[in-house]
Structure 1
Amino acid sequence: MAVLTAGRSGSMSLYRACLHVRNYTAGHDSGEGALAAERSLLRAGHIEIDTRFAWMLGRLAEANGDKVYFVFLTRDAAQIAASYNRRWTNRKGIMRGYCETILQRDKPAKDIAIARDLVGTVEANIRTFLSGRPHSVIRLEHWREDLPRFFIDIGAEVDLEAALGSFAEVHNPSRRGSPLVRGRYWVSRRIDALEALLKRKR
């Protein structure tokens, strides 16, 4: 089973909740560092919550055929974008990768428009991929109704009270980076600007 999400939607909370399911194992980004072909291979009886699956949809389909049940974990798009917009200083974060590598733009101090574009793009990919495929939807704003329904959909043997309690806890919130992290990002932007200036003068 694969959980698809744009991120910043409670994926860690869902993982903690799924640890209370007795007839499934659960993982969160457990394929981190693996190539997409390997990361996309799913085990039977396992719930894998991976914030990068949205970029590997073709691989998921090829590797697992029609044997996979999907879950779309989502949240109000403006809230996801606002959360991402606080994470520009994360060197391995998807915001910088999307901005610099996919859109081929210089990294800004902050740019909510890029964060919104990221969220809109990823969620459109997920919605299109899921069309015609069996799946559940868990909306962060309606998790008290959607989470129990999801457990019913997959036939989970779950301690529901404990699972709901785990989901209610906040995990991995976006925080303002430390002065060192913010300073390193500021320097990297200045280096990028200098490189761009030198390239124009060649």
Structure 2
Amino acid sequence: MDNYSAAHESLSHAVGAARFAYPAGHIEADNRLSWVLGRLERAYGDDAFYVHLTRDTMATARSFLKRYDSGIMQAYRSSILMGALKKSADVDPLDFCVDYCETVNSNIEAFLKNKTHKMNFALERAAADFADFWERIGARGDLESALGQWQVRHNASV
């Protein structure tokens, strides 16, 4: 794209107002924003174009299962779900991962409920959804080259 900058988790380390200090004409991909939606609302309200990027829930949950004892999954089941490690020891680990996915997606759906400029974007339909996104934001540049990037795997947990 010639008329937008783009980054992945570029301000995920920041606190306060700096957490939302994205430049004008910027596209940010950051799943951690799902945990600060109230502050995102305060910073941008209905003035941004929001994209809810999704992936098949079971595929996502199985991916999180590979990192079950670290990161957000460890935090979710030990701290966010207070005492779940002890009180829910008989729960299948995959069920915790599914619960996490459903929690995040429902938080995002609630946030987007009253937004004017939004779209759902399914990873399984990346090429079609990206072309739609490109058109909806008025992107300029080499669409074919951009579509080719959807064939590159990043952060793949095999």
TM-score by length of 1: 0.70
| Alignment match, 1:106 | 85
**Equivalent residues in 2 for 1:58-73, closer than 5 Å:** 58-73=38-53
RMSD, matched Cα: 1.7
Q: Which residue of 1 aligns with 2:72?
A: 94
Q: 1:132 aligns with which of 114, 135, 138?
A: 114
Tell me the matched-pair count: 152
The answer to whether the 8 A contact 2:54-2:120 is kept is yes
Once the two structures are superposed, residues 32-87 of structure 1 have per-residue CA deviations (whole angstroms, 9 ceiling, x without a partner) of 32125431333210001111000011101101232211011001111111110111
Q: 2:30 corresponds to which residue? A: 50
Residue 158 (structure 1) shift: 2.7
Query: What one-letter code is carried by the residue in structure 2 that aligns with 1:71?
Result: V
Which 5+ residue runs of structure 2 have no aligned equivalent?
A: none
Pair 1:78–1:31, CA change in 2 (3 A): same
Q: Give me the identity figure in percent.
A: 40
Corresponding residue of 1:121: 103
Greater Rg by CA: 1
What secondary structure, in the 3-state scheme, does the structure 2 residue paired with 1:52 have? Answer: helix
- CA 1:74–1:36 in structure 2 vs 1: closer, same or farther (change >3 Å)? farther
TM-score normalised to structure 2 length: 0.89
Q: Residue type matched to 2:93 in 1? A: D
1:38 aligns with 2:18: yes
> Are 1:41 and 1:64, in contact at CA under 8 Å, matched by a contact in 2?
no
Alignment-mate amino acid for residue 170 of structure 1:
R
Runs of 4+ residues over 4 Å off in structure 1 = none
Q: Name the SS for the 1:106 alignment partner.
A: helix
